[in-house]
Each structure stands twice: as structure tokens, then as C-alpha cells.
């Protein structure tokens, strides 16, 4: 990346006495930073961190170059010392929330020195007399999912190694949804396909990614790949994932006007994961589309008690199910889910 500032040497003057600083009552959360500058510093930080292993060098870099990237934050400080300390603290927060490849995409917070140990900023003061006083800034700005930034410098080809790491696939799915919404189909394909390659074991980790993979093949007009994907997922030894496969198959069969096949697939899913809120949604939708209102009412009652015990049930599902228990006809003309 051309605009990446050069790495500064690891020098860092001591901050002043922060207890008396005018910044003392603020946290990083309350300091206004525009989303554009924030996204720029996070992107640059992710690039730096991918190139340079040492968090110390990263902190020195952000202390030196941060003020040019985030002038609104620099404007709040009254001296180079203050600015240096504040940007180092921001750097620590960024590092602590950035999943990096060298940590197998797990978070690995920078250890802080003991109070009487020398401060790690290079001031030669004790930590308690130096940067510890900055800990009032340890509240994190609302970074959201920093994995998006970690991966921003990865080529499409680089993404193929992700299944060999310990990356959190819930977070990865959030990145994938952003790509999906932005219409970045090629990138999304490069991100998702390696997870479903022949030879890769399908287990719990694929659960957050499967729906998106199937949706993407649908968007791209690739019914053969979609069908193969679903068939493979149905065979997974991890039951909740296999159940998702059968549910997907059932809704496709319903759409293709093959209700008998759809109900067979539904039963398979039911055997594998009987308490899944998704299964409830599917059953109610299927009964609804066949206009079997009396059955719909009694099944909704059954599901309501069951789902109330399941903390993972989305509230909007419970809401629709409650209506289905009493007056499903009032939902006519609406999309159920």
C-alpha cells in the first residue's frame, strides 16, 4: 500500500502526569472520531501489523503517524507528550481487538508491565508513574468487527488458508455479510469456497457460513454447485449443520412445488436437530404456504413452549409464533419471516 507511512524507530518520550490532564475525564469512546478517519487508521494499522510482528514497533508507528491520520484526536492534545501517550493507548486498543494471522486469528492482548516494572514506552520511568496513568483510556471505541480490517490486505488467494487457522467463523460470517451487501461476489466466493472444499471436514465451524454460501451460488446462478453444496452439508457428521442442509433442501423443494419431498427433508432435519428455531420457522412457513391453518395453530403452540426455553430464539420469531397460536389468518398477505 503506497500511502503507508514508513515505520518509525521505537522511541517514545514519556507522557506528562496524566492525572491532571484535561483529557482525564474522557475515554476513547467519548472522543468524536469520524468513521472515515477511523476506518483509515484501522486499515493502515492492519497493514502495519501484518508486516511487522512486534507490537512495540506498531505502537511507536501509531504514536508517530497517528496524528496525521486522526487529526481530530491529535487536536485534543496539548503537547507532543500527550499526543504520544494517547495514540499509544489507541494503538494498544486496536492491537488488542485485531485478530492476527500470527496468533491464528485469536485475540492476543499486549501484556501490560507490573506497576513497578519499567514502562514499555521507553521512558525509563516505572509503569505506575508513566503509561499506567493512561489506563483511563482503556475503554474501547466501538470498533465492531476488526477482522474485516485484518483481512483487508489479503489477496483472494490468501483467503484459502483460513480454514487451517483458528479463526472465529461467527466473525468471519459478519465480514462475509458485508461483502455480500457490497456486491463483492468474487471476493466473497474466495472467502467462502475454501470452507466447503472436498477434503475439508464440515463441522460446527461451517454453521455460520453455510447459508451465505448457498445464497451466493443462488445469486451467481450456479444451481449445480448449490445442489452439490447442500447434498454435502446434509451428510455432515455434525448434526446441527446436517440439519441446516436438510432444511435448505426442504425450502428448495417447497419452492419447486414438491411438497411431499419437502416434508420428507423436513423430517430428516427434525431427527437431527429437533429444537432448532430455524426448524420452527421452516415448519410454520411450510404449513402456511399450504394454508393448513388448523395444524399451523397447534404446531405454533407446540413450538412456543419449546422455543421459550431456548435462549437462542430470535424475539421476532417468537412474536410471529405467538400470532400463529391465536390468529394465523390475521397474517394473510404478509411475508411470515
Binding site for Zn ion (CB under 5 A): 119, 121, 123, 130-131
- By beta-carbon distance, which residue lies closest to Zn ion? 121
Closer residue to Zn ion in complex, CB, 121/214: 121
Q: Helix, strand or coil for residue 118?
A: strand
Closer residue to Zn ion in complex, CB, 131/190: 131
How far apart CA 75 and CA 151 sit, in angstroms, is 30
Closer residue to Zn ion in complex, CB, 128/258: 128
Closer residue to Zn ion in complex, CB, 18/105: 18
Shortest distance in whole angstroms from residue 5 CB to Zn ion: 22
| Residue 223 CA, distance from chain mean position | 28
Closer residue to Zn ion in complex, CB, 131/202: 131
Q: How many residues does the structure list for the chain?
A: 337
Shortest distance in whole angstroms from residue 127 CB to Zn ion: 7
How far apart CA 326 and CA 337 sit, in angstroms, is 17
Shortest distance in whole angstroms from residue 90 CB to Zn ion: 14
Q: How many CA atoms lie within 13 A of 160 on its CB side?
A: 5
State the Rg of the chain over Cα: 26
How far apart CA 234 and CA 102 sit, in angstroms, is 34
Residue with cell 493512561: 134
Shortest distance in whole angstroms from residue 103 CB to Zn ion: 24
Shortest distance in whole angstroms from residue 113 CB to Zn ion: 9
Amino acid at each position: 500500500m503506497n500511502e503507508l507511512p514508513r515505520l518509525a524507530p521505537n522511541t517514545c518520550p514519556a507522557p506528562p502526569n496524566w492525572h491532571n490532564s484535561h483529557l482525564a475525564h474522557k475515554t476513547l469512546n467519548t472522543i468524536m472520531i469520524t468513521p472515515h478517519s477511523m476506518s483509515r487508521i484501522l486499515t493502515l494499522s492492519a497493514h502495519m501489523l501484518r508486516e511487522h510482528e512486534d507490537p512495540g514497533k506498531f505502537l511507536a508507528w501509531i504514536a508517530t503517524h497517528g496524528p496525521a491520520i486522526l487529526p481530530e484526536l491529535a487536536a485534543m492534545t496539548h503537547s507532543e507528550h500527550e499526543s504520544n501517550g494517547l495514540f499509544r493507548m489507541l494503538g494498544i486498543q486496536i492491537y488488542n481487538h485485531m485478530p492476527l494471522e500470527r496468533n491464528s486469528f485469536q485475540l492476543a492482548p499486549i501484556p501490560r508491565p507490573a506497576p513497578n516494572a519499567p514502562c514499555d514506552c521507553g521512558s525509563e520511568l516505572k509503569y505506575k508513574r508513566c503509561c499506567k496513568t493512561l489506563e483511563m483510556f482503556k475503554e474501547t471505541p466501538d470498533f465492531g468487527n476488526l477482522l474485516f480490517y485484518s483481512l483487508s490486505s489479503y489477496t483472494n488467494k490468501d483467503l484459502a488458508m483460513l480454514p487451517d487457522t483458528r479463526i472465529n467463523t461467527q466473525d468471519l460470517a459478519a465480514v462475509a455479510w458485508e461483502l455480500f451487501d457490497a456486491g463483492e461476489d468474487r471476493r466473497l466466493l474466495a472467502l467462502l469456497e475454501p470452507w466447503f472444499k472436498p477434503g475439508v471436514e464440515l463441522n460446527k465451524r461451517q454453521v455460520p457460513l453455510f447459508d451465505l454460501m448457498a445464497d451466493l451460488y443462488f445469486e451467481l446462478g450456479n444451481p449445480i454447485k448449490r445442489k452439490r453444496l447442500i447434498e454435502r452439508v446434509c451428510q455432515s457428521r455434525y448434526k446441527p449443520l446436517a440439519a441446516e442442509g436438510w432444511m435448505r433442501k426442504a425450502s428448495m423443494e417447497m419452492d419447486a412445488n414438491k411438497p411431499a419431498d419437502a416434508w420428507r427433508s423436513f423430517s430428516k432435519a427434525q431427527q437431527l436437530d429437533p429444537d432448532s428455531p430455524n426448524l420452527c420457522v421452516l415448519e410454520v412457513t411450510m404449513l402456511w404456504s399450504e394454508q393448513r391453518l388448523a395444524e399451523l395453530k397447534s404446531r405454533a403452540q407446540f413450538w412456543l413452549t419449546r422455543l421459550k426455553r431456548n435462549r437462542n430464539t430470535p424475539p421476532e420469531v417468537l412474536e410471529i409464533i405467538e400470532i400463529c397460536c391465536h390468529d394465523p389468518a390475521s397474517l394473510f398477505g404478509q411475508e411470515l419471516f
